[in-house]
Structure 1
Amino acid sequence: MAKEASYKDKKVITIGIVRELTGLSERQIRYYEERKLIFPERTSGGSRKYSFADIELLMEIAEKIEDGVQTYEIRQEMKKKNADATKLRNKMIQGQLNAQFGTRKR
Protein backbone atom coordinates (compact mmCIF):
# COMPACT_ATOMS: atom_id res chain seq x y z
CA MET A 1 0.00 0.00 0.00
CA ALA A 2 1.46 3.35 -1.04
CA LYS A 3 1.97 5.90 1.70
CA GLU A 4 -0.37 8.85 1.19
CA ALA A 5 1.17 12.30 1.44
CA SER A 6 0.34 14.41 4.47
CA TYR A 7 -2.06 17.28 3.86
CA LYS A 8 0.92 19.58 4.49
CA ASP A 9 2.74 18.14 1.48
CA LYS A 10 -0.09 18.14 -1.07
CA LYS A 11 0.48 20.76 -3.74
CA VAL A 12 -2.98 22.31 -4.07
CA ILE A 13 -2.57 26.02 -3.27
CA THR A 14 -2.35 28.66 -6.00
CA ILE A 15 0.25 31.42 -6.01
CA GLY A 16 -2.46 34.01 -5.32
CA ILE A 17 -3.46 32.28 -2.09
CA VAL A 18 0.21 31.85 -1.16
CA ARG A 19 0.67 35.58 -1.70
CA GLU A 20 -2.25 36.34 0.62
CA LEU A 21 -1.10 33.91 3.32
CA THR A 22 2.55 34.96 3.32
CA GLY A 23 2.40 38.65 2.46
CA LEU A 24 5.02 38.04 -0.22
CA SER A 25 4.57 39.36 -3.74
CA GLU A 26 4.24 36.97 -6.68
CA ARG A 27 7.56 38.34 -7.90
CA GLN A 28 9.26 37.36 -4.62
CA ILE A 29 7.74 33.89 -4.69
CA ARG A 30 8.87 33.35 -8.29
CA TYR A 31 12.34 34.68 -7.43
CA TYR A 32 12.70 32.09 -4.65
CA GLU A 33 11.71 29.45 -7.19
CA GLU A 34 14.31 30.76 -9.68
CA ARG A 35 16.94 30.58 -6.94
CA LYS A 36 16.03 26.89 -6.35
CA LEU A 37 14.74 27.48 -2.83
CA ILE A 38 11.16 26.34 -3.46
CA PHE A 39 9.79 23.77 -5.88
CA PRO A 40 6.10 24.17 -6.77
CA GLU A 41 4.37 21.67 -9.01
CA ARG A 42 2.91 22.82 -12.33
CA THR A 43 -0.54 22.06 -13.65
CA SER A 44 -0.98 21.04 -17.28
CA GLY A 45 -1.80 24.71 -17.94
CA GLY A 46 1.46 25.84 -16.29
CA SER A 47 -0.01 27.24 -13.06
CA ARG A 48 2.08 26.82 -9.94
CA LYS A 49 0.70 24.76 -7.04
CA TYR A 50 2.13 24.96 -3.53
CA SER A 51 1.70 22.99 -0.31
CA PHE A 52 1.34 24.17 3.28
CA ALA A 53 4.92 22.93 3.82
CA ASP A 54 5.99 25.23 0.94
CA ILE A 55 4.24 28.15 2.62
CA GLU A 56 6.10 27.47 5.88
CA LEU A 57 9.37 27.27 3.94
CA LEU A 58 8.62 30.53 2.12
CA MET A 59 8.06 32.25 5.47
CA GLU A 60 11.41 30.93 6.76
CA ILE A 61 13.17 32.06 3.58
CA ALA A 62 11.60 35.53 3.74
CA GLU A 63 12.64 35.90 7.37
CA LYS A 64 16.23 34.94 6.57
CA ILE A 65 16.32 37.32 3.60
CA GLU A 66 15.03 40.08 5.88
CA ASP A 67 17.86 39.27 8.30
CA GLY A 68 20.37 39.74 5.48
CA VAL A 69 21.10 36.12 4.59
CA GLN A 70 21.83 35.61 0.88
CA THR A 71 19.84 33.11 -1.20
CA TYR A 72 23.04 31.16 -1.91
CA GLU A 73 23.62 30.69 1.83
CA ILE A 74 20.01 29.60 2.35
CA ARG A 75 20.32 27.04 -0.48
CA GLN A 76 23.56 25.67 1.01
CA GLU A 77 21.91 25.38 4.43
CA MET A 78 18.97 23.53 2.85
CA LYS A 79 21.34 21.12 1.08
CA LYS A 80 23.15 20.42 4.36
CA LYS A 81 19.85 19.76 6.18
CA ASN A 82 18.78 17.36 3.42
CA ALA A 83 22.12 15.55 3.53
CA ASP A 84 21.95 15.29 7.34
CA ALA A 85 18.38 13.95 7.14
CA THR A 86 19.46 11.37 4.55
CA LYS A 87 22.36 10.23 6.76
CA LEU A 88 20.05 9.91 9.76
CA ARG A 89 17.45 8.00 7.75
CA ASN A 90 20.14 5.62 6.44
CA LYS A 91 21.44 5.09 9.99
CA MET A 92 17.93 4.30 11.20
CA ILE A 93 17.35 1.83 8.37
CA GLN A 94 20.67 0.15 9.12
CA GLY A 95 19.67 -0.11 12.78
CA GLN A 96 16.37 -1.70 11.81
CA LEU A 97 18.16 -4.18 9.58
CA ASN A 98 20.63 -5.00 12.35
CA ALA A 99 17.76 -5.57 14.79
CA GLN A 100 15.82 -7.69 12.30
CA PHE A 101 18.67 -9.85 11.07
CA GLY A 102 21.14 -9.63 13.94
CA THR A 103 23.91 -8.24 11.75
CA ARG A 104 26.22 -5.30 12.16
CA LYS A 105 27.69 -3.10 9.44
CA ARG A 106 31.47 -3.14 9.63
Structure 2
Amino acid sequence: MARQSVGLGAGPGDDTPVFVISVAAQLAGMHAQTLRQYDRMGIVTPSRTRGGGRRYSSRDVELLREVQRLSHEGVSLAGIQRILELEQQVEALRSHVQQLAEQLESAQAAAMQVGRVFAAGARGDVVAMAPGRRPPRPVHSQALVVWRPDRRRASS
Protein backbone atom coordinates (compact mmCIF):
# COMPACT_ATOMS: atom_id res chain seq x y z
CA MET A 1 0.00 0.00 0.00
CA ALA A 2 1.49 3.37 -0.99
CA ARG A 3 2.25 5.86 1.73
CA GLN A 4 2.25 9.63 1.37
CA SER A 5 4.96 11.66 3.01
CA VAL A 6 3.92 14.70 4.97
CA GLY A 7 6.08 17.82 5.02
CA LEU A 8 6.94 19.85 8.09
CA GLY A 9 4.12 21.97 9.38
CA ALA A 10 1.45 19.89 7.69
CA GLY A 11 -1.08 17.93 9.70
CA PRO A 12 -1.22 14.15 9.49
CA GLY A 13 -2.99 12.79 6.43
CA ASP A 14 -4.97 9.58 6.01
CA ASP A 15 -1.79 7.69 5.08
CA THR A 16 0.42 9.08 7.86
CA PRO A 17 1.43 6.26 10.22
CA VAL A 18 0.68 7.63 13.69
CA PHE A 19 -1.02 4.90 15.77
CA VAL A 20 0.82 2.22 17.71
CA ILE A 21 -0.75 -1.23 17.55
CA SER A 22 -2.64 -0.94 20.85
CA VAL A 23 -4.30 2.34 19.80
CA ALA A 24 -5.11 1.03 16.30
CA ALA A 25 -6.62 -2.11 17.81
CA GLN A 26 -8.77 -0.05 20.14
CA LEU A 27 -9.90 2.28 17.32
CA ALA A 28 -10.79 -0.71 15.13
CA GLY A 29 -12.48 -2.60 17.97
CA MET A 30 -10.11 -5.57 17.75
CA HIS A 31 -7.39 -7.27 19.76
CA ALA A 32 -3.78 -6.37 19.02
CA GLN A 33 -3.08 -10.05 18.31
CA THR A 34 -5.66 -9.94 15.50
CA LEU A 35 -3.83 -6.99 13.94
CA ARG A 36 -0.56 -8.94 14.13
CA GLN A 37 -2.23 -11.89 12.38
CA TYR A 38 -3.60 -9.61 9.63
CA ASP A 39 -0.11 -8.14 9.20
CA ARG A 40 1.44 -11.63 8.86
CA MET A 41 -1.18 -12.57 6.27
CA GLY A 42 -0.70 -9.33 4.35
CA ILE A 43 -4.32 -8.25 4.77
CA VAL A 44 -3.48 -4.96 6.50
CA THR A 45 0.21 -4.08 6.45
CA PRO A 46 1.18 -1.12 8.61
CA SER A 47 4.34 0.95 8.30
CA ARG A 48 7.30 0.05 10.50
CA THR A 49 9.54 2.19 12.66
CA ARG A 50 13.32 1.78 12.50
CA GLY A 51 13.04 -0.46 15.55
CA GLY A 52 10.42 -2.65 13.84
CA GLY A 53 7.34 -1.36 15.68
CA ARG A 54 4.08 -1.20 13.76
CA ARG A 55 2.54 2.20 13.03
CA TYR A 56 -1.00 2.37 11.65
CA SER A 57 -2.52 5.24 9.67
CA SER A 58 -6.14 6.39 9.68
CA ARG A 59 -6.55 4.59 6.36
CA ASP A 60 -5.22 1.37 7.94
CA VAL A 61 -7.74 1.68 10.79
CA GLU A 62 -10.59 2.13 8.27
CA LEU A 63 -9.33 -0.92 6.41
CA LEU A 64 -9.30 -2.91 9.66
CA ARG A 65 -12.91 -1.91 10.27
CA GLU A 66 -13.81 -3.07 6.75
CA VAL A 67 -12.07 -6.41 7.36
CA GLN A 68 -14.02 -6.78 10.59
CA ARG A 69 -17.31 -6.00 8.84
CA LEU A 70 -16.65 -8.55 6.10
CA SER A 71 -15.62 -11.13 8.69
CA HIS A 72 -18.87 -10.61 10.62
CA GLU A 73 -20.76 -11.14 7.34
CA GLY A 74 -19.17 -14.59 7.07
CA VAL A 75 -16.43 -13.91 4.52
CA SER A 76 -13.29 -15.99 5.11
CA LEU A 77 -9.90 -14.32 5.57
CA ALA A 78 -8.81 -15.61 2.16
CA GLY A 79 -11.98 -14.10 0.68
CA ILE A 80 -11.36 -10.81 2.46
CA GLN A 81 -7.80 -10.74 1.14
CA ARG A 82 -9.05 -11.32 -2.41
CA ILE A 83 -11.74 -8.64 -2.05
CA LEU A 84 -9.14 -6.12 -0.88
CA GLU A 85 -6.81 -7.03 -3.77
CA LEU A 86 -9.64 -6.55 -6.28
CA GLU A 87 -10.59 -3.21 -4.73
CA GLN A 88 -6.98 -2.06 -5.11
CA GLN A 89 -7.01 -3.16 -8.75
CA VAL A 90 -10.27 -1.31 -9.36
CA GLU A 91 -8.82 1.84 -7.81
CA ALA A 92 -5.68 1.55 -9.94
CA LEU A 93 -7.82 1.09 -13.07
CA ARG A 94 -9.98 4.09 -12.17
CA SER A 95 -6.85 6.18 -11.80
CA HIS A 96 -5.56 4.95 -15.16
CA VAL A 97 -8.88 5.68 -16.88
CA GLN A 98 -8.83 9.19 -15.40
CA GLN A 99 -5.31 9.73 -16.76
CA LEU A 100 -6.35 8.47 -20.20
CA ALA A 101 -9.45 10.69 -20.20
CA GLU A 102 -7.27 13.71 -19.38
CA GLN A 103 -4.85 12.80 -22.18
CA LEU A 104 -7.73 12.39 -24.64
CA GLU A 105 -9.22 15.72 -23.63
CA SER A 106 -5.83 17.37 -24.08
CA ALA A 107 -5.35 15.77 -27.50
CA GLN A 108 -8.84 16.82 -28.59
CA ALA A 109 -8.23 20.38 -27.43
CA ALA A 110 -4.95 20.45 -29.37
CA ALA A 111 -6.69 19.11 -32.48
CA MET A 112 -9.37 21.79 -32.25
CA GLN A 113 -6.66 24.47 -32.20
CA VAL A 114 -5.41 23.30 -35.58
CA GLY A 115 -6.96 25.89 -37.88
CA ARG A 116 -7.41 23.95 -41.07
CA VAL A 117 -8.00 20.36 -42.10
CA PHE A 118 -7.81 19.18 -45.68
CA ALA A 119 -9.47 16.25 -47.44
CA ALA A 120 -9.67 14.81 -50.93
CA GLY A 121 -12.87 15.76 -52.69
CA ALA A 122 -14.98 13.50 -54.91
CA ARG A 123 -13.04 14.51 -58.03
CA GLY A 124 -9.66 14.25 -56.34
CA ASP A 125 -9.37 17.94 -55.55
CA VAL A 126 -8.14 19.24 -52.18
CA VAL A 127 -10.91 20.63 -50.01
CA ALA A 128 -10.53 22.60 -46.75
CA MET A 129 -12.78 21.11 -44.05
CA ALA A 130 -13.77 21.76 -40.47
CA PRO A 131 -12.28 19.22 -38.02
CA GLY A 132 -14.46 16.12 -37.77
CA ARG A 133 -16.35 16.79 -41.03
CA ARG A 134 -16.28 14.89 -44.34
CA PRO A 135 -16.42 16.36 -47.80
CA PRO A 136 -19.87 16.07 -49.42
CA ARG A 137 -20.27 13.47 -52.14
CA PRO A 138 -22.16 14.63 -55.20
CA VAL A 139 -25.01 12.23 -56.00
CA HIS A 140 -24.85 12.76 -59.78
CA SER A 141 -21.23 11.62 -60.10
CA GLN A 142 -21.88 8.04 -59.01
CA ALA A 143 -21.65 5.70 -61.96
CA LEU A 144 -21.41 1.99 -62.60
CA VAL A 145 -18.68 0.79 -64.93
CA VAL A 146 -18.81 -2.75 -66.31
CA TRP A 147 -15.66 -4.27 -67.74
CA ARG A 148 -15.97 -6.86 -70.45
CA PRO A 149 -13.00 -8.51 -72.08
CA ASP A 150 -12.54 -7.80 -75.74
CA ARG A 151 -13.65 -10.99 -77.48
CA ARG A 152 -11.69 -10.22 -80.62
CA ARG A 153 -8.37 -10.15 -78.77
CA ALA A 154 -9.15 -13.29 -76.72
CA SER A 155 -9.61 -15.42 -79.89
CA SER A 156 -6.36 -14.28 -81.54
TM-score by length of 1: 0.85
Q: Read off the aligned partner of 2:90 and give its amino acid letter.
A: D
Counterpart among 18, 25, 29 of residue 24 in structure 2: 18
* 1:40 match: 46
**Unmatched tracts of structure 2, length 5 or more:** 7-11, 111-156
Counterpart among 58, 61, 64 of residue 52 in structure 1: 58
**Unmatched tracts of structure 1, length 5 or more:** none
* 2:71 match: 65
Spell out, residue by residue over 1:16-70, the C-alpha distance to the aligned partner (whole angstroms, 9 max, x if none).
1112222211110111111211010110111100001111110111121122211
Runs of 4+ in 1 over 3 A off after TM superposition: 3-6
Counterpart among 75, 79, 86 of residue 80 in structure 1: 86
TM-score by length of 2: 0.59
SS of structure 2 residue aligned to 1:37: coil
Percent identical among aligned pairs is 23
Q: Distance in 1 between matches of 2:90 and 2:25?
A: 31
Q: Which structure would you say has the larger RCO, counting Cα contacts within 8 Å and 6 or more residues apart?
A: 1
**Structure exhibiting the larger radius of gyration computed from Cα positions:** 2
Q: Distance in 2 between matches of 1:59 and 1:97?
A: 37
Counterpart among 85, 99, 106 of residue 105 in structure 2: 99
Size of the alignment, in residue pairs? 101
Q: Distance in 1 between matches of 2:90 and 2:47?
A: 25
Q: CA deviation at 1:94?
A: 0.8
Give 1 or 2: higher helix fraction. Answer: 1
